[in-house]
Amino acid sequence: MSVSSARKSSGKAGTPAASKNVEASRRAYYDRISAYDMAPLWEVLRDLVPREPVTQCVPAIWHFKDARPLVAEAGELITAKEAERRVLVLENPALRGKSRITQTLYAGLQLILPGEIAPAHRHSASAIRFVLDGEGAYTAVEGERTTMQRGDFVITANWAAHDHGNTSKQPMIWLDVLDLPTINFFEAGFSEHLNRESQAAEREDGDSLSRFGSGVLPDGEAPNRIRKPIINYPYARIRPILDRLKRAGDVDRSHGARVRYANPWTGGWATPTMGAHLSLLPKGFAGEPYRSTDGTIFVCVEGEGATKLDGETLEWSPGDVFVVPPWQRYAHRALGETTVLFGISDRPAQEALGIWREDR
């Protein structure tokens, strides 16, 4: 074979030499367009448009027996006023340093000691409190105080002024969940310190629940789809409803006897970005496998149980907080007489965007 023939042969399409030439040409092209802040979609398309959800989150559990003394220790190191909010952030092990339990939600354990006040402020993020331990402390929202008990579900709507105080003789610990990562993703976060420790009480304790949570609505008051009319959904009021559902046989095969916290103005979720449920798992309950696109934070309120995930089982008891990542199949199992689970996720935001999906 002549030298010229060899050269032609080495450059044929599909040969190693040709492949190297194509790769080099493409790389040179990518470098040139990079100078103009452009990049080739075909190099990243599979990651941008996956066949099904791919999550960076991992399952995790925080046992209350371990967390409680650590939260209490924080009370010896810093005051509520100094910290503004004395909270230990629950970080997903796969997202350390990002102050989030899922990609869209922040969660933390907040402590307020007897006699303390956590000063008034407000922010763009919506917040919920789910009381884990103690009773008698309060949250004040837009001039209404609500005294909190274990199991209560308390809402602070976005940009609502709020402060916390403890007039009881015992510490209180609650779970905070906020949509902070979502707000910060949109780069739409604002906050404001109100330069006062607490708000003046403008309405009676429990006013919002009496006005809006009793099956009637104040005549002539137009619904506000952003503001939340109810501040506190008391556990003592909601817990008996679960027993009624169980007796009636209204037990979902995956979730047990479950209620949804609702906005009485709209019938929709309690907040636009975060949706919460309370579930009763009857004795011997073994849930069917389930998954959905909303990563969910669970709290064990009563009883004991276990949640089986792909290759892992989380065992939980009262006060324990655990997280199930998006699109990961799981099944709850009750290990005690009666088990109650609280759950909260970003499902309302996903539904508003038309992207929420479940698989049973």
Note whether residue 54 is domain-resident: no
| Residues 104 and 205 both lie in one domain | yes
| Predicted local distance difference test score (pLDDT) of residue 1 | 45
| Residues 25 and 143 both lie in one domain | no
Residue 234: both structure tokens together: 């008391």
Note whether residue 129 is domain-resident: yes
- For the whole model, what pTM was predicted? 0.91
**How far is C-alpha 145 from the chain's CA centre?**
24
Residue 140: both structure tokens together: 């004040």
Number of folded domains in the chain? 2
Note whether residue 14 is domain-resident: yes
| Residues 78 and 15 both lie in one domain | no
| Residues 144 and 233 both lie in one domain | yes
Does pLDDT of 115 surpass 50? Answer: yes
| Residues 267 and 203 both lie in one domain | yes
| Residues 117 and 89 both lie in one domain | yes
Q: How many CB atoms lie within 10 A of CB 168?
A: 18
| Residues 206 and 186 both lie in one domain | yes
Q: Which DSSP state fits 272?
A: S
Per-residue pLDDT tens digits for 206-246:
888 877 887 777 777 766 654 568 899 999 999 999 999 99
For position 279, which CATH number holds? 2.60.120.10
Domain of 315, in residue numbers: 60-359
Which residue, chain included where needed, has tokens 């088990």? 339
Does pLDDT of 6 surpass 70? Answer: no
Residue 289: both structure tokens together: 């496998």
Residue 116: both structure tokens together: 């303390």
| Residues 183 and 144 both lie in one domain | yes
